[in-house]
Amino acid sequence: MAKLKVTLVKSLIGRKKDHIATANALGLRKIGKTVEQNDTPQVRGMINKIDYLLKVEEI
């Protein structure tokens, strides 16, 4: 299965509560934090929801 490297590049301060919850569900709590996620439709949907806060790379 393909992997995605997801990095939080913008602050969560002042964002909608559901956007903050989505970032937290991905494992992103601080700016600069990077996590690896499996490339599934569920994860892609979460990334698309908050794409303006993230940098995404395929591994």
Q: Domain ranges in the chain?
A: 3-58
Could you report how far apart the first and last alpha carbons of the chain are, in Å? 10
CATH architecture of 3-58: 2-Layer Sandwich (3.30)
Residue type, 6: V
Q: What is the model's pLDDT at position 21?
A: 97
User: What is the chain's mean pLDDT, rounded?
Assistant: 96
Average pLDDT over every residue of 40-54: 96
Q: Which residues contact 47 (CB under 8 A, 6 or more apart)?
A: 4, 6, 26, 54, 56
Q: What is the model's pLDDT at position 24?
A: 97
> In this model, does residue 37 exceed pLDDT 90?
yes
Can you give the pTM of this predicted structure? 0.91
> In this model, does residue 1 exceed pLDDT 90?
no
Quick one: tokens of 34?
């990077």
